[in-house]
């Protein structure tokens, strides 16, 4: 299989925040942002492997900054690491200032997807080759995050999560 780069899966989704998507403080409802990120991330995962993909886990979400009603929100997603059938997708969320057009980082998130066949069985995906420094950092840390996700899901014993354990040594 050819080696692909994270950039080839890059996906950007821009949309408005409407009144029906806000909480009583007139900020974007967290679940709405999770759904938007799931859609953007699934497109990035699909672009990497060109297969059906399903969300396996939401590994990390930081709601660092609220997103007010009327905001223009841009989600940038790209695959940070491909394993055998699973992929990590890293997302940055930006809000655009109406007058200046300047962008401010609002949130970031990391989701995991699995490529499956028509019957829902995991299938092998192409490897990925990080190019930039940021891509390399995200690639290196992805294995630890995968192990943490599997341990929390009860699919891996903590003693087998060697890369994760090495963080605490």
Ligand X SMILES: CC(C)(COP(=O)(O)OP(=O)(O)OC[C@H]1O[C@@H](n2cnc3c(N)ncnc32)[C@H](O)[C@@H]1OP(=O)(O)O)[C@@H](O)C(=O)NCCC(=O)NCCS
Q: Which residues bind ligand X (CB under 6 A)?
A: 54-57, 83-86, 112, 114, 116, 120, 122, 146, 149-150, 153, 155
- Residue 65 CB, shortest distance to ligand X, in Å, is 26
- The smaller minimum CB distance to ligand X, of residues 13 and 56, is found at 56
Residue 79: CB atoms within 10 A of its CB come to: 32
Question: How far from 81 is each of 14, 85, 120, 151, CA to CA, in Å?
Answer: 24, 11, 21, 19
- Residue 99 CB, shortest distance to ligand X, in Å, is 39
Q: CA-to-CA distance for 126 and 9, rounded, in angstroms?
A: 12
Q: CA-to-CA distance for 36 and 43, rounded, in angstroms?
A: 11
What single DSSP character describes residue 49? H
- The smaller minimum CB distance to ligand X, of residues 24 and 154, is found at 154
- Residue 113 CB, shortest distance to ligand X, in Å, is 8
- The smaller minimum CB distance to ligand X, of residues 20 and 119, is found at 119
């Amino acid at each position: 299989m050819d080696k692909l780069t994270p950039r080839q899966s890059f996906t950007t989704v821009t949309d408005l925040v409407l009144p029906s998507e806000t909480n009583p403080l007139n900020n974007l409802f967290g679940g709405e942002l999770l759904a938007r990120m799931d859609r953007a991330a699934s497109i990035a995962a699909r672009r990497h492997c060109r297969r059906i993909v399903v969300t396996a886990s939401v590994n990390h979400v930081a709601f660092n900054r609220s997103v007010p009603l009327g905001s223009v929100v841009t989600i940038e997603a790209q695959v940070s690491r491909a394993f055998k059938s699973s992929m990590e997708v890293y997302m940055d969320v930006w809000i655009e200032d109406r007058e200046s057009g300047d962008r401010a980082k609002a949130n970031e998130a990391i989701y995991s997807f699995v490529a499956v066949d028509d019957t829902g069985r995991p299938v092998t995906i192409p490897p990925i080759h990080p190019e930039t420094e940021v891509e390399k950092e995200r690639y290196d840390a992805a294995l630890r995050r995968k192990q943490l996700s599997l341990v929390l899901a009860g699919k891996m014993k903590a003693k087998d999560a060697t890369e994760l354990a090495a963080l605490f040594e």
